[in-house]
């Protein structure tokens, strides 16, 4: 049976909030403090002066636009998203749906170039755009992970970044999302517009990508100038995230980073709404370690007053659990230390 969203929509509160905008070119110790604060409070922040060249972003945005402009049957040539490929309206394997179409790629260059033949009319141009974008964004992700370790006073400052440094070994993902304007979709035309309805409440918006947390270490998201992203630091409370400044990347803590920081950083649930007026496009890099990497908490983050919250596990184990569950499920709870567990 497909169950609807877990929070009754009518009890939701929508409140404006500005995510911290962190200038990565500012003084290092200040930057690391601001990042730690943002990760503890909201799990989300934006970065500017990140060093990713504009043309690298523009080339990737153009490829994304070209892909989503194709006909349905052409897009389907990219293969079903299991887990890499093209998907439309269905998210994952367990009955989640939304007003979104997407393309999920592995970040390994060989895998991208093999797939690009089925994705683009100019496969070399497409695969080079993805390679250059992913490479540049991965460097930013590593830099942010090092700043986080510094801000947390962990002596091995590469403790998090080393997990995603090797592009050929890790299990990182790259995802392109497109939320088409709802007036163009059948589902919007025949939607229930009664005052009490879910659609009325969302004011010409529908769920594009439902409530979830990102299972990996860190996500680096880029979108066009159309709003839609919302974050939920507390159940039932939603903060819309402005798409401005469009030069910024939006960064968020994933479940693995919450575990590795012993719960100091929060992997916050978020969702994206599709609007009736304009297409939202987003591109997300999800930094993940290699499958057999062991996820543990550095000893400096475990104290008598902050005992170890999560048992050690591998990314393969966590990923398997993730894919067996629904989009909105809180999977990290299943990895909490139980009374009597011995941590080695």
Q: Is 275 helix (H, G, I), strand (E, B) or coil?
A: strand
Q: In Å, how far are 42, 181, 185 from 252, measured between CA atoms?
A: 9, 26, 30
Residue owning tokens 């091995």 = 156
Q: Does 63 bind Fe ion (CB under 5 A)?
A: no
The bridge status of strand 44-48 relative to strand 85-91 is: unpaired
The stretch among 28-36, 111-119, 142-150, 223-231 that binds ligand AKG (CB under 6 A) is 223-231
Q: Does 175 bind ligand AKG (CB under 6 A)?
A: yes
Give CA–CA dist 284/219, Å, rounded. 7
User: Which of 83, 245, 299, 307 contacts ligand L4NPZUNZ by CB under 6 A?
Assistant: 83
Active site residues: 280
Give CA–CA dist 221/196, Å, rounded. 33
Could you tell me if residue 217 is left (phi over 0), alpha (psi between -120 and 50 degrees) or otherwise beta?
Answer: alpha
Is the Cβ of residue 106 or residue 177 nearer to ligand AKG in the bound state? 177
Is the Cβ of residue 154 or residue 283 nearer to ligand AKG in the bound state? 283
Q: Does 180 bind ligand L4NPZUNZ (CB under 6 A)?
A: no
Residue 177's binding partner out of ligand L4NPZUNZ, ligand AKG, Fe ion, none, with CB under 5 to 8 Å set by partner kind: ligand AKG
Handedness of CA 166, 328, 81, 126 (dihedral sign): negative
Position closest to ligand L4NPZUNZ via CB: 92
Q: Is 202 helix (H, G, I), strand (E, B) or coil?
A: coil
Q: Does 214 bind Fe ion (CB under 5 A)?
A: yes
Q: Does 330 bind ligand L4NPZUNZ (CB under 6 A)?
A: no
Residue 229's binding partner out of ligand AKG, Fe ion, ligand L4NPZUNZ, none, with CB under 5 to 8 Å set by partner kind: ligand AKG
Q: Does 323 bind ligand L4NPZUNZ (CB under 6 A)?
A: yes
**Closest distance to ligand L4NPZUNZ from the beta carbon of 80 (Å):** 11
The two tokens of residue 138 are: 């991965």
């Amino acid at each position: 049976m497909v169950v609807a969203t877990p929070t009754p929509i009518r009890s939701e509160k929508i409140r404006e909030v500005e995510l911290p905008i962190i200038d990565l070119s500012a003084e290092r110790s200040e930057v690391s403090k601001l990042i730690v604060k943002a990760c503890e409070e909201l799990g989300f922040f934006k970065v500017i002066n990140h060093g990713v060249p504009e043309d690298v972003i523009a080339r990737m945005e153009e490829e994304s636009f070209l892909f989503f402009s194709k006909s349905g049957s052409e897009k389907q040539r990219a293969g079903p998203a299991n887990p890499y490929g093209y998907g439309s309206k269905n998210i994952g394997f367990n009955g989640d749906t939304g007003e979104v179409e997407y393309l999920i790629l592995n970040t390994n260059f060989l895998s991208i170039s093999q797939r690009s033949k089925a994705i683009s009319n100019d496969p070399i141009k497409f695969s080079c755009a993805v390679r250059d974008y992913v490479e540049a964004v991965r460097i930013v992700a590593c830099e942010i992970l090092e700043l986080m370790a510094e801000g947390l006073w962990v002596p091995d400052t590469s403790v998090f970044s080393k997990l995603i440094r090797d592009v050929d070994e890790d299990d990182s993902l790259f995802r392109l999302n497109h939320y088409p304007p709802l007036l163009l979709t059948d589902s919007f035309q025949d939607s229930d517009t009664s005052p009490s309805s879910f659609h009325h409440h969302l004011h010409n918006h529908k769920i594009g990508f439902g409530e979830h947390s990102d299972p990996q270490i860190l996500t680096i998201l880029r979108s066009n100038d159309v709003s839609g992203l919302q974050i939920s630091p507390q159940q039932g409370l939603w903060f819309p995230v402005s798409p401005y400044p469009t030069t910024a990347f939006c960064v968020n803590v994933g479940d693995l980073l919450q575990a590795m920081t012993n719960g100091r950083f929060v992997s916050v649930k978020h969702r994206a709404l599709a609007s009736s007026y304009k297409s939202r496009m987003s591109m997300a890099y999800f930094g993940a370690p290699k499958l057999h990497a062991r996820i543990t908490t550095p000893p400096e983050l475990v104290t008598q007053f902050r005992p170890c919250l999560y048992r050690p596990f591998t990314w393969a184990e966590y990923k398997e659990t993730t894919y067996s569950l629904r989009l909105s499920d809180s999977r990290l709870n299943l990895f909490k230390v139980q009374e009597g567990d011995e941590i080695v």
